[in-house]
A and B are shown apart, each in its own frame.
Chain A
Amino acid sequence: MLLIPCPYCGPRPEIEFRYAGQAHVARAADPSALSDAEWAQFLYLRDNPRGRHAERWRHTNGCGRFFNCIRDTLTDKIAATYRIGETPPDLAAGAEARR
């Protein structure tokens, strides 16, 4: 089981959380201006990296908050979690997971 550091509650077991898709997918300011292909891109197409992936999680059976998480899809190792609205931490220099 993963131990996921909720930015509000601290490290908690995975069963308290729900996965909520890729993070930082911005909705267009004027959706009606998009082509069908662009709209489909927004709605359906997601990254599928082998490695670090920015994703949203929700602490459903805890504080109830959504937050962002950088998880390695290969190792399941969580490099960082951060609050909605915060910029993703720079992990290039091998920054450690923060709580």
Chain B
Amino acid sequence: MPDQALRQRAPLEALARPGRFGATSAAAGVMLSEIRDRGLASVAARKNQRAALLAAAKSAFGCGLPTRPRRAFGRDGLSFVWAGPDQWVAMLDHGPVGGIEPRLAASLKGLASVVDQSDGRAVVRIGGARARAALAKGMPIDLHERAFTPGDAALTFFSHINVHIWQVDETPTYEIAVPRSFVGSFWHWLTEASAEFGYEATGSNSSA
């Protein structure tokens, strides 16, 4: 048998060329990168376990699970983004990717269904002075600073691709989780939308 070792590859590894692209007349207006060292898991409350789940999460992770479209930060690099009523996406900075599910499942046994999504979604970070203008070309929601602030999250779509977005800081910087099989189309759209502002792509970004 041929010796073919399977190698884990980040969703955008072959697509996100690092470098400066688009308009070059001024400083890059948009910074793009892929977050590759973050574990993801979906968390869904079991029937009639909502209150118990919220209490268990608070004591185990040091933060309440958000009950409206927000992101909450717990201990040790864990955070939770609202993903619909009684559903969340849990994230663990600096992996190990795949290490998040057992960590959550142990504390939430019987209260929530926890499924690893680390390989199912790509997480793209988009920041810079013109990030908002670039996203506005493909996204129907209002990202104006009075309507959407750091910590806010939304389930919406970008160029017909369902995405999950949350704001990181006031730069503004956003992170967008995209189903892995759509991330090629998403990246194409995003880089085209960013080109007129000049964008800087770095292949990978640490999650913190």
Whether B140 lies near A9 (C-beta < 8 A) is no
Instruction: Quote the shortest CB–CB distance from B4 to chain A (angstroms).
Output: 39
A63: nearest chain-B partner, CB-CB: B84
Main secondary structure of the interface of A (DSSP, over half): loop
Q: Tell me the count of chain B residues lying within 8 A, CB to CB, of chain A.
A: 11
Which of B85, B141, B156, B157 is close to A8, meaning CB atoms less than 8 Å apart?
A: B85
Given contacts A62-B156, A63-B155, contact A13 B140 (CB under 8 A): yes
Closest residue of chain B to A8, judged by CB?
Answer: B85
CB interface residues, B 156-193, toward A, < 8 Å: 156-157, 162
Please determine whether A13 and B141 come into contact, CB atoms closer than 8 angstroms.
Answer: yes
Q: Mark A70-87, 1 if CB is under 8 A from B, else 0.
A: 000000000000000000
Shortest distance between the CB of A98 and any CB in chain B (Å): 15
Whether a CB of chain B sits under 8 angstroms from the CB of A16 is yes
Given the known interface contacts A9-B69, A12-B141, the answer about A61 and B84 at a Cβ–Cβ threshold of 8 Å is no
- A-to-B contact residues, CB < 8 Å: 8-10, 12-13, 15-16, 61-65
Identify the 4 closest CB pairs spanning chains A and B, nearest first.
Answer: A63-B84, A13-B140, A61-B157, A62-B155
